[in-house]
Amino acid sequence: AQSVTQLDSHVSVSEGTPVLLRCNYSSSYSPSLFWYVQHPNKGLQLLLKYTSAATLVKGINGFEAEFKKSETSFHLTKPSAHMSDAAEYFCVVSDAGSARQLTFGSGTQLTVLP
């Protein structure tokens, strides 16, 4: 069985300051991990994914995430927030590199203050 916990339902940062969205996972096998972003009334856009290659994964729009097996974490970071980053972010886990069974976290709403 696999599960994912997003530790914060809401995060608020000022524009230009760093972003940290936290995610912990549980998986019976070597997991694949993803971060998706969803803007209001829109579908999901893949930010980045980890599939057992480099543990530091760089994604689009300046986001990156580090896979830490010892901590079972996959936190999403960005050095400097933009207003356009305001959205809902989902951490997602999938077993063994398969795209067939995704388990979604509950989501983190990111607010960026001017």
Residue ranges binding another protein (CB under 8 A): 32, 34, 36, 41-46, 49, 51, 90, 97-100, 102, 104-107
Nearer to another protein, 54 or 79 (CB): 54
The answer to whether the beta carbons of residues 49 and 33 sit under 8 Å apart is yes
**Shortest spacing between CB 41 and another protein, in angstroms:** 7
Q: What b-and-e string marks burial along 20-38, b requiring 16 or more CB atoms within 10 Å of the CB?
A: ebbbbbebeeebbbbbbbe
Quick one: 53 or 56, whose CB is closer to another protein?
53
Measured from the CB atom, the residue of 46 and 80 that comes closer to another protein is 46
